[in-house]
Amino acid sequence: MKKICLTVVGLYVFMFAGFGQKTPADTTYKSRKLTFEEANLVSSYYKQDGNNSAVTGGIGTEKLTDIANVIDVKLYKWDKKDRKQSIDIEVGIDHYTSASSDRVDLKNNSSASSADTRIYPSINWTRENEKKGTTIGAGIALSSEYDYQSIGVNVNFSKKTNNRSGEFTAKAQAYLDKVSLILPVELRPPGSPVRDDEYQNYPKTSRNSYSGSFSYTQIINQRLQIGFLLDVIYQQGYLSLPFHRVYFADNSVHQENLPDTRMKIPLGLRANYFIGDKIILRSYYRYYKDDWGLSAHTFNLETPIKITPFLSISPFYRYYNQTAAKYFAPYRVHTATKEFYTSNYDVSKFSSNFYGAGFRIAPPKGVFGMKRWNMLELRYGHYTRTTGMSSDIVSLNLKFK
């Protein structure tokens, strides 16, 4: 925990050091030097509880807390051909405690897996040609946690329409992940590491995700803009989690077993509308389908209300509904006749409601009179699932320019 605090402080220092490179806003001057554009800090606290943990076969506590901090710094410069080159550097650190993960070895508060820290830095570069209306970009992302490591790469291309009111974007991403095979303690073969903190000794296997994302945004008029989104995602490798238990009808215990490929196709639509001068409607709908038999609908509506031009309150509501994956069954329902099985309620049939509100201030003279502190936003949300799980999340976004 001490390490995390020091890292966060270090990132703050790095972020503020970037302010030294700030140049005055000037529409005619285009800096050839790398210049600070903005920095964002997003922090959140998440807490959940429920009684359907996959670690204990679909029964048992799902109690979990997570503290997340993400800092990103955006720098830019104009090159000799008058193209804007941007670099976005992001570092995220999550620390979680999980009562269910602590049950991998069936002794409460005894295993290293009861808490973990995930660190995920990334860097993205884009080059925008305003004359041609094109943008190209590439990025790399890393992620490391106790039993999971990942390397991600992406490339993207955008092209605006001639009248600049529409934009098409295509993005290709690949994540090459490694999963440590930490089995529930009673299923470990003889000679396996006994203590969870001997994770270096666990065998690893791969899980790869490849995706193509396509979007088209269009300005309809002075108040309305819409966007269509389509992802095609293919996953391959070890897609189960090794410490998820499944209890069969005969009370025998097994390790979750899922197919080694998964194809997902989500299709989304966004529409934002400015009503009068004070209210914005932000809407989002997504239809999702995959080849595990799971389909889902997501509907989200947020309505920022501008109390003043610089202060707004944003109530929001999100409804989500999914069918079960064909490999899901609850505790002690699966039988040995099935090849694939899981008791993870995250892929069961359920619907969920998520609602809350945000508060945002962005005064022209800066937050609390601090000119470089451009914006402060605080947001709270409460989530309930028909399986009985519920959670709360508080998020904070500070923006510096």
Strands, E, within 276-310: which ranges?
Answer: 279-290, 295-302, 305-308
DSSP state of 6: H
> 182: buried, middle or exposed (CB in 10 Å: 19+, 13-18, 0-12)?
buried
Measured in whole angstroms, the distance separating CA 119 from the mean position of its chain's CA atoms is 13
- CB nearer other proteins, residue 96 or residue 191: 96
Contacts of 363 (CB under 8 A, 6+ apart): 310, 311
Radius of gyration of the chain (CA): 23
269 strand-pairing partners: 228, 285
Closest distance of CB 22 from other proteins, Å: 19
Closer to other proteins by Cβ: residue 129 or 321: 321
Closest CB to other proteins among residues 16, 287: 287
Q: Report the residue number, 26 or 250, with the smaller CB distance to other proteins.
A: 26
Q: List, in sequence order, every residue forming a beta bridge with 89; answer none if it has no partner.
A: 73, 123
Nearer to other proteins, 83 or 244 (CB): 244
Residue 62 · residue 51 · CB < 8 Å: yes
Smallest gap from residue 17 Cβ to other proteins (A)? 21
**Residue (249 or 311) nearer to other proteins, CB:** 311
Q: Provide the total of helices (H) and of strands (E) in the chain, helices listed first.
A: 1, 19
3-state secondary structure of 347: helix
Cα three-residue angle 399-126-151, rounded to 5 degrees = 85
Cβ 376 to other proteins shortest distance, Å: 10
Query: Which has the closest alpha carbon to 301: 279, 319, 278?
Result: 319
How far apart, in whole angstroms, are the C-alpha atoms of residue 312 and residue 358? 8
Q: Least distance in Å: CB of 221 to other proteins?
A: 5
Q: Name the amino acid, one letter, at 352.
A: S
Cβ proximity to other proteins: between 78 and 273 the closer is 273
Give me the least distance between CB of 46 and other proteins, in Å please: 6
Q: Could you tell me the smallest distance in angstroms from the CB atom of residue 81 to other proteins?
A: 22
Q: Are strands 84-98 and 115-129 parallel, antiparallel or unpaired?
A: antiparallel
Q: For other proteins, which is the closer residue by CB, 7 or 152?
A: 152
d(CA 90, CA 42): 11
CA distances from 48 to 64, 351, 389 (A): 5, 16, 7
Nearer to other proteins, 247 or 325 (CB): 325
Using DSSP's 3-state secondary structure scheme, residue 14 falls into helix
Comparing CB distances to other proteins, the nearer of 96 and 337 is: 96
Q: Which residue has tokens 């008058």?
A: 82
Least spacing, CB of residue 93 vs other proteins, in Å: 12
End-to-end CA distance of the chain: 29
d(CA 65, CA 141): 24
